[in-house]
Structures are given as C-alpha cells and as structure tokens.
Structure 1
Amino acid sequence: MVLDEADSLMDESFAELLEEILAHAPLAAGAPGPAGPDEERTQVVVVGATFPAGLSETLAKFTDVGQFVTLSTQSLHRLPPHVQQKFVRLKGRDKLPELLQLLKERPSSGGAVLIFCNSASTVNWLGYILDDHKIKHLRLQGQMSAAARAGIFASFQKGDVSVLVCTDLASRGLDTSSVQLVVNYDFPDTLQDYLHRAGRVGRVGSKAPGAVVSFVTHRWDVDLVRKIETAARKRTGLPGMDSVNKPSPKGG
C-alpha cells in the first residue's frame, strides 16, 4: 500500500477516509488478515515532500511505526537552492498588468509556465482575461472531471500549450520538467503549499533551473514571505513543516 502525498492525506478532508482504509488492511504484525493469521502482511510505503508529525500517530493505530525504515534527503523541507525565488509586493489591482507583462516579455524559448491561483473561480476568471489578450493557455482546477484534468495536463506536458493556469491541484505529483517559471498569482495559504509549488521548477530532467515569482498583496502573506526568505538565505528548512497542512488565519 502506497500512501503518496502523505501530508495531504492527513488533511481533515481525507484523514477519516484514510483511517477507514487502513483499518481494513492487514498491516499490524501479528494481526490476522482476511485470509487468516498466516496471510502475508501488507507492506506500507509512505511518500511525500513534506511530512506532518500526525502521520506517525495515525499509522501507529494500525501498525508498529517503529518497524518503518525512513529514507530522507538532506534537502527535505528546503527550497531548491538553484531556483530563483522572487517576491513582488503590489496592490491587488496591479497583479493582472504585472502578470500580462511577465507573459508578454517571456522569450519563446523560455519554457513552460505554471500560474497558481487559490480558487477555481480565479483560474476561470484569469483564463477569460488571457483569452482577451490572445495568450494561449490551458486551465486546470478541481471542478473539472478527473478525465478532463488528465487530458489537459497530458496536453500541457506534450508542449501543445506552454501556459497552464491552475490551482494547487497541479502542485503535487505531476512531472513538470518542462516548466521554467512558476507564478504565484495568488500567494499560497501555507508554507507547505509554497514548497510544493516551488518544486514544479528545477526538477530532474529540466533544461534550466527556473524561477518562482510570487505576487504579495496581503499583510498576512508578508509573514510567510519573511520565513521563506530567511530559510532561503540560511539554507535551512522551512519552519513548521511537521504540522498538518492547514491554512493560516487571515485578517479582514
């Protein structure tokens, strides 16, 4: 059994379902499986770029976590040092002109672009604006069917269209080695989300290290930016990554 994107599975919207599935799998040493006590146990592999502390507690209800073998990279929870991180402080009304300028100034050989928004409605709205400006793009958000999303991303990967406007749905588990620019049109809610978005560039197989450009408009974003800048400067891991991925409280 492979638990991929482990931190997302600990989100409150998935945790209960995950526990239900684990309860039906013969994980614990010595626990009789469906075919009796001699049945082979299920091997569990837990994978993720960020690991919340609560995951071990959940697994401990069903198996001996002390028997797990942990394989971890030294760069866990760290920003890729070869990827440029740029923060642009601006008012909300200036985000669209800034994005359009970025896209129009981008060289044709500049690789693919991911533009992240925090909601499906923003993805759709921004798509209409890009249509008006004759900027060819694709949209990817959670209100689409799974089949539609798979087809859209396959088209993006093939290079049919080099601009993808998306929600955090595209920040995890997708191979994006052709992407050279990530734009956070909406600043992410959490450091975990930022790390996953930033991980879409500079991947193995990429022709260039790439860059992340983030639009910072709200005062509650500034605290996250400071933490990101400090971690990048000191080459340390982002703080608070052991907690379950929950959005920070926002002001009015």
Structure 2
Amino acid sequence: MVLDEADSLMDESFTELLEEILNRTQVVVVGATFPAGLGETLAKFTDVGRFVTLSTQSLHRLPPHVQQKFVRLKGQDKLPELLLLLKERPSSGGAVLIFCNSASTVNWLSYILDDHKIKHLRLQGQMSAAARAGIFASFQKGEVSVLVCTDLASRGLDTSSVQLVVNYDFPDTLQDYLHRAGRVGRVGSKAAGAVVSFVTHRWDVDLVRKIETCYLENIEELLHQLIRFTYFVT
C-alpha cells in the first residue's frame, strides 16, 4: 500500500479507514513534507520502528530557482493588488494559481473576477469530484489560464504551465506554503516562475520569517556546494 501526501491523509477523519487498511498491508509512505508528529500518528496504525526512511536534501526546502515575494498590505488592499497583478500580466506569462484559505473566499473572489471580465476557473472542496476533475482538466489543457482555488490544488496538481502562484490568503502553516510554492517552477516549465504572497496579519509575519530562514539556509547550502565544485574543477 503506497500512501502519497501522507501528512494530509493522516487526519483524524480518516482514522478508522486507515486502521482497517494498514493493519492488513505493507506500507510505503510518501510526501514532500513530513511535519513533526506524523510518526506518532503512524504508530497508531503500524510499527514505525520497522520503517526504512529515505529522504532527499530538498525535503522541507523551497525551490531556489523560484522567486519568493512578500507584499505587506491591509486586508482591503488585497483585491486591488490582485487585479493589478492579473491585468498587467502579459498574455504569454503562463498560467496563474490564486490560493485562498476557504471555499467561501474562492466563490466571492470568482464573482469579483467575473465583474472585471477576467476569465478564470475556480476549484474548491465543496464541488463534486467529477466537477473538480473537469475543472482541473480544462486548466491543465490551457483552456483557461487563471485558477482560483483552496489548498485542494496545492497537492497533486502537476502542470508545467503555471508561472505565477498568488497567495491571496496567506497559508496557515509552513507545510502549506511549501506545497503551494511547489506548483510553480516544476520539471518541464519554460520559466522559473514566482510566488507572490499577500501578508496582512501579525501571525503571517511570523510565518514569513520562518520561510525566509528556510530559503536562506537552502541558498547557503547550494553556494557551499557550488564552491566545493568550483574548487574541484579548478
């Protein structure tokens, strides 16, 4: 049994189903982020002491080739800033993902974009599975280049056309930010892309500091590797 996006699946709402399945199978657990406490959750279903852990240096790291931009503004200024971003963006600028923290905000923002004649799709968990699949297929084919969504689209959405991720609502956790940022600059993309985040609350600033630290540590490690490589070649 292979469980992808394991940190998301290990939710209390899935406990009974997971216990029934995992007690009967061998398990491979996969994910781009493994937050603290995941091992304790897994221990409820299986013997984690028998697990073999394989990880890469990029675990919990931001992609260094993707620009991360944080815009500090008031809540009422987020909509004008977003509209400016979308209207000034060139037609050849690739697809855009706009993340919100709730389905109600996705729906509200969709009505606003309609009023401004900005063609887009919306994707959130209150839609049926069939509707979500159709929306994602249309976005992936490039029929519409703007998708307003919840964190439902931050995992498993694999498309190389996205060149801009906008965090209209700042994510609640570092893991959520990493998954959202991971939708841009993917293998096969024509451009590195960028992530633009609207920072409005004090607790948002605290998370920004963690993200900046994570990014700087990654850059420092890459520079160290480059220096070692240059010395070897010389």
Deviations 1:102-155, CA, capped at 9 Å, x for gaps? 001111111000000001011011001101111000000000000000000000
Q: TM-score, normalised by structure 2?
A: 0.86
Return closer, same or farther for 1:69/1:145 CA change in 2, 3 Å cut-off.
same
Whether 1:188 and 2:171 are equivalent positions in the alignment is yes
CA distance in 1, matches of 2:207, 2:18: 29
Please state whether the residue corresponding to 1:49 is helix, strand or coil.
Answer: coil
Please state whether the residue corresponding to 1:14 is helix, strand or coil.
Answer: helix
CA distance in 2, matches of 1:221, 1:55: 24
CA distance in 1, matches of 2:165, 2:124: 16
| 1:224 shift after superposition | 0.3
Q: Which runs of 5+ in 1 are unaligned?
A: 23-40, 231-252
CA distance in 2, matches of 1:62, 1:185: 37
Q: Kindly indicate whether the alpha-carbon contact (under 8 Å) linking 2:154 and 2:180 is maintained by their aligned counterparts in 1.
A: yes
Q: Kindly indicate whether the alpha-carbon contact (under 8 Å) linking 1:137 and 1:163 is maintained by their aligned counterparts in 2.
A: yes
| 1:51 shift after superposition | 1.1
Aligned to 2:125: 142
Return closer, same or farther for 1:60/1:217 CA change in 2, 3 Å cut-off.
closer
Deviations 1:153-172, CA, capped at 9 Å, x for gaps? 00000000000000000000
| 1:63 shift after superposition | 3.9
CA distance in 2, matches of 1:173, 1:164: 15
Deviations 1:176-203, CA, capped at 9 Å, x for gaps? 2110000000001111111100000111
Q: Kindly indicate whether the alpha-carbon contact (under 8 Å) linking 1:8 and 1:14 is maintained by their aligned counterparts in 2.
A: no
| 1:45 shift after superposition | 1.4
| 1:92 shift after superposition | 0.7
Deviations 1:182-237, CA, capped at 9 Å, x for gaps? 0000001111111100000111111111100000111111100111112xxxxxxx
Please state whether the residue corresponding to 1:110 is helix, strand or coil.
Answer: coil
63-72 or 197-206, which moves further after superposition? 63-72
| 1:55 shift after superposition | 3.2
Deviations 1:11-61, CA, capped at 9 Å, x for gaps? 333344322332xxxxxxxxxxxxxxxxxx833211101113433334445
CA distance in 2, matches of 1:15, 1:62: 9
Return closer, same or farther for 1:61/1:188 CA change in 2, 3 Å cut-off.
closer
Q: Kindly indicate whether the alpha-carbon contact (under 8 Å) linking 1:5 and 1:47 is maintained by their aligned counterparts in 2.
A: yes
* Count of aligned residue pairs for this structure pair: 212
Matches within 5 A, 1:96-135: 96-135=79-118
CA distance in 2, matches of 1:223, 1:105: 30
Alignment match of 1:76 (pick from 52, 59, 75) = 59
Q: What percent of counterpart residues are identical?
A: 96
Q: TM-score, normalised by structure 1?
A: 0.80
Q: Which runs of 5+ in 2 are unaligned?
A: 214-234
Q: Kindly indicate whether the alpha-carbon contact (under 8 Å) linking 2:35 and 2:175 is maintained by their aligned counterparts in 1.
A: no
Return closer, same or farther for 1:58/1:219 CA change in 2, 3 Å cut-off.
closer
| 1:62 shift after superposition | 4.5
CA distance in 2, matches of 1:54, 1:224: 19
Q: Kindly indicate whether the alpha-carbon contact (under 8 Å) linking 1:10 and 1:54 is maintained by their aligned counterparts in 2.
A: no
Higher helix share: 2
Task: Return structure 1 stretches of 4+ with deviation > 4 angstroms.
Answer: none
CA distance in 2, matches of 1:62, 1:138: 39
56-65 or 175-184, which moves further after superposition? 56-65
